[in-house]
């Protein structure tokens, strides 16, 4: 990136997560998780003062715009739109506050769009090498009649044989990672594997007995995060991804159980 844009600052921006010992993508999803908690401040009581929440939300958003990859940026935008849509429906929120929040979001996006690093991320979307192995995955799934899998962890072996046979023309990404949890799950464990993954993602909604699950912004936000995040990363095949998913899922499960207990008590 530094060579293409001629800026050492861009290189330092990109390397910052590596300097503190984390993967940029997982670092981005950790920041988005913090933003979800802050945006849910009235529910979770993260901060008594909304001023501190707004300051932190602005700081973390700027961090994401500078450092995050494309999918986390999309997830972050959708999460903010979800909470913004909920916020403007509240009756006691004045028009000034609504416009101020909208102005803040637009300003952050505008500032981010002027950064060469962000434009560089968007430019490579047209020729994204992360999907290089996807045709092989689809072919393998089709050969298994969309039912059976190759066996847990065997997708890497299938991709390795394909690379040995046909070579690898990529220049940015190497290895045998599909960068897609859904395809890898399906390729390894077949139809039962992909169904189990979908149940795992939707279980907080199944467990939560709220009358309208679509009023639960925290659950929906994390469903967006994991649902889209798994399209570009094999979360559940990496220890850091498993730990992250387990901690957040445990929080959602406990929250649903506590909500159900309160609801039963009120009944």
pLDDT of residue 51: 76
Angstrom distance (rounded) from CA 248 to CA 85:
24
Instruction: Give, in order, the Cα–Cα distances in Å from 170 to each of 15, 21, 174, 187, 260.
Output: 22, 26, 7, 22, 50
d(CA 40, CA 56): 13
pLDDT tens for the chain, residues 1 to 267: 445 544 565 566 667 777 777 778 888 899 999 999 888 876 556 566 677 777 888 888 878 877 777 888 889 988 988 887 776 666 566 666 667 767 777 776 676 666 666 666 666 666 777 788 888 899 999 999 889 889 888 888 888 888 888 877 777 667 778 889 999 999 999 999 999 999 989 887 777 766 555 557 888 899 999 999 999 888 888 888 999 999 999 888 888 777 777 666 655
Gap between the Cα atoms of 145 and 138, Å rounded? 11
pLDDT in the model for residue 7: 59
Of the candidates 33, 8, 1, 117, the one whose C-alpha atom is nearest the C-alpha of residue 69 is 117
pLDDT at 246: 92
Kindly report the pTM of this predicted structure.
0.81
The rounded distance, in Å, linking the Cα atoms of 178 and 140 is 13
Dihedral of the alpha carbons of 22, 28, 32, 35, in degrees to the nearest 10: 80
Closest CA to 227 of 75, 14, 16, 43: 75
* 84 vs 98: CA distance, rounded Å: 9
pLDDT of amino acid 9: 58
For residue 29, the model assigns a pLDDT of 92
Q: How far apart are CA 64 and CA 225, in angstroms?
A: 14
Question: Distances in Å between the alpha carbon of 148 and those of 132, 143, 192, 237?
Answer: 23, 9, 8, 19
Closest CA to 226 of 204, 206, 210: 204
State residue 2's pLDDT score.
Answer: 47
């Amino acid at each position: 990136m530094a060579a293409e844009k001629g800026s050492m600052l861009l290189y330092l921006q990109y390397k910052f997560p590596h300097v503190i010992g984390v993967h940029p993508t997982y670092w981005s999803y950790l920041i988005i998780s913090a933003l979800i908690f802050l945006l849910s401040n009235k529910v979770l009581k993260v901060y008594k003062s909304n001023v501190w929440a707004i300051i932190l939300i602005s700081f973390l958003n700027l961090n994401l715009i500078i450092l995050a990859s494309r999918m986390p940026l999309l997830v972050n935008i959708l999460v903010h739109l979800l909470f913004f849509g909920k916020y403007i429906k509240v009756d006691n929120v004045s028009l000034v506050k609504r416009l101020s929040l909208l102005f803040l979001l637009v300003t952050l996006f505008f500032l981010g769009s002027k950064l060469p690093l962000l434009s560089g991320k968007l430019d490579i979307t047209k020729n994204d090498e992360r999907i290089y192995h996807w045709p092989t995955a689809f072919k393998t799934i089709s050969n298994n009649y969309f039912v059976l899998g190759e066996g847990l962890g065997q997708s890497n072996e299938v991709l390795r044989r394909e690379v040995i046979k046909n070579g690898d023309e990529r220049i940015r990404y190497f290895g045998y990672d599909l960068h897609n949890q859904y395809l890898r799950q399906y390729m390894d464990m077949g139809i039962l594997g992909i169904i189990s993954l979908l149940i795992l993602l939707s279980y907080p909604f199944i467990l939560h007995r709220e009358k309208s699950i679509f009023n639960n912004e925290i659950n929906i936000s994390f469903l967006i995060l994991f649902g889209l995040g798994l399209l570009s990363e094999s979360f559940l095949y990496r220890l850091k991804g498993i730990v992250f998913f387990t901690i957040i899922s445990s929080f959602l499960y406990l929250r649903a159980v506590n909500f159900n207990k309160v609801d039963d008590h009120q009944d």
